[in-house]
Structure 1
Amino acid sequence: MRPRAVDAAGVAHEVAGGEVRIVSLVPSITELLFALELDGQIVGRTGFCVHPRDKVRQVPKVGGTKAVNIDAIRALRPTHLIVNIDENERDTVDTLRAFVPHIVVTHPLTPQDNLSLYALLGTIFNREQEARRLSKALEARLHEAAARAFPAQNVLYLIWREPWMTVARDTYIAAMLRLVNWRTLPDVQGGAAGAARYPTIDFDHAPWLAEVDRILLASEPYRFTQAHCDTLKRDPRFAGKRIELIDGELVSWYGVRAVEGIGYLLHRAAAP
């Protein structure tokens, strides 16, 4: 019996055979596919798929993660489409099912979930050795994080402004931050994909704000700058809180980026 791998939607996928043509609608997955040495099989990606920079330039764009160009994907004749529950619209994916034979759904919610993500794609695309290599690197980082102790910090991780938006505790970002004992506030769970996972906040009606030790302004999806930090530091509502920029890619991108991302957080959490 041929090996099969089960994706986040519960669909079992057999090892791809014959000509393989992959379109990825997930930036971090595109990067992971290159890390699995699938360069020759990647035929389409979104405009937000920017890593690895020297290789993605050769891959045609098919719109954005949500504003997808259906006709562009059809013209590429993909055998496999990689999507993500948080990042891609379900209606778009359902439309693509009409002509894409294999749709692989991903939904990592913790850094540890990357191990099954590596195995999933490694099995489907016959890159098991490369997947094991990535798993060893990630496991080493996870062991390093577990072996170290960090003081507890309540953090507000901001991803957008006008309106201000943050992350629920059951998101991948919040799980990454927990590796260094940073607990996100407010204490909310997002549940199913949607706005609840990335709630809007009103600083004038946020009693929990008094408990926040550190405010982190992410570089994506909104590109916060030092000017935004300086503005918040002048706001009396945030007096006494540490306010700083943080690399959103290293914290929110799963896949191969998680290995570097955990090292980045370990360094940040240990800094005075």
Structure 2
Amino acid sequence: MSTRAVDATGVAHEKVGTGARIVSLVPSITELLFALGLDRQIVGRTGFCVHPRDKVRNVPKVGGTKAVNVEAVRALQPTHLIVNIDENERDTVEQLRTFVPHVVVTHPQTPHDNLSLYALLGAIFGREREASNLADQLEARLHEAATRAFRPQNVLYLIWREPWMTVARDTYISAMLRLVNWQTLPDVQGGTAGAARYPSFEFAGANRAPWLADVERILLSTEPYRFTQAHCEALQRDPRMGGKRIELIDGEMVSWYGARAIEGIAYLMQRAAAA
């Protein structure tokens, strides 16, 4: 009897052998596929799939996470396409579905969801042992974070400027930050009526966000917008930011799920302990 694994949309996938040809449209999952030992079966990736650097350079690019080169994917003749609900455009995925036999949809929303992500890909591609090893490492990190006391802080996590954009509390990023007792503002859930998962706001003017007064720490993420130290210094010079700690944070460590979450939790614990 075949082993089947169920993805984020409820689709069951059968276990495949070494003949699988995988195209990944999700940077963090490309890294996870390599961590599972699937090097020889990864035949395509996006230009944003940059880890592990020494291995992805040998894998052909098929465009970006949203601007996918459909014909480039077709030419690679994949048996499996790995996508994500937040990162990839639904219309593009449906177009690719017409010629890719198996489309595996992912949607981790909390650090704990990585456990089921490991299990899903491990079961489909016959890497159960490697998936179990990653799960053990992640559970150890989660346990360590849960048993340590971190000072509570209200934080603003910036992902974009012009307009300024941040994260709602039902995002993976916000859930990662909660592991170290950092609560993101504004206190909104993106799944509620009229609310966005990545809301925009204003620092100044008539529409200045009122909840900014409660922010203690402003974190400028290095992705998807490439915030730099110069952006931090500009905000630090703004008199309206008085009393707030403003700093860069590694966006990959906070927003990349998959294998990176193990290192990401350790990174956050170190940052919170130094606060």
TM-score (norm 2): 0.97
Letter paired with 2:178:
R
Residue 154 of structure 2 is aligned to residue 154 of structure 1: yes
- Residue 114 of structure 1 aligns with which residue? 114
Deviations 1:195-233 (A, max 9, x none): 911111112321100000100000001111111111101
TM-score (norm 1): 0.98
- Residue 269 of structure 1 aligns with which residue? 272
Q: Equivalent residue of 1:29, what SS? A: helix
CA distance in 2, matches of 1:253, 1:18: 27
Letter paired with 1:228:
H
Segments of 4+ moved more than 2 angstroms = none
- Residue 25 of structure 2 aligns with which residue? 25
Letter paired with 2:160:
W
CA distance in 1, matches of 2:154, 2:188: 13
Q: Equivalent residue of 2:81, what SS? A: strand
CA distance in 1, matches of 2:45, 2:135: 24
Shift of 1:107: 0.3
* Higher deviation after alignment, 222-231 or 47-56: 222-231
Name structure 2 gaps, 5 residues minimum. Answer: none
CA distance in 2, matches of 1:201, 1:12: 40
Shift of 1:189: 1.1
1:233 corresponds to which of 232, 236, 246: 236
User: Paired residues, what number?
Assistant: 271
Q: Equivalent residue of 2:165, what SS? A: coil
Shift of 1:18: 6.0
- Residue 74 of structure 2 aligns with which residue? 74
Deviations 1:108-160 (A, max 9, x none): 00000000000000000000000000000000000000000111100000001
CA distance in 2, matches of 1:237, 1:7: 46
Residue 260 of structure 2 is aligned to residue 257 of structure 1: yes
Shift of 1:17: 3.6
Name structure 1 gaps, 5 residues minimum. Answer: none
- Residue 35 of structure 1 aligns with which residue? 35
Q: How does 1:187-198 map to 2 (within 5 A)?
A: 187-191=187-191, 196-198=196-198
Deviations 1:78-108 (A, max 9, x none): 0000000000000000000100000000000
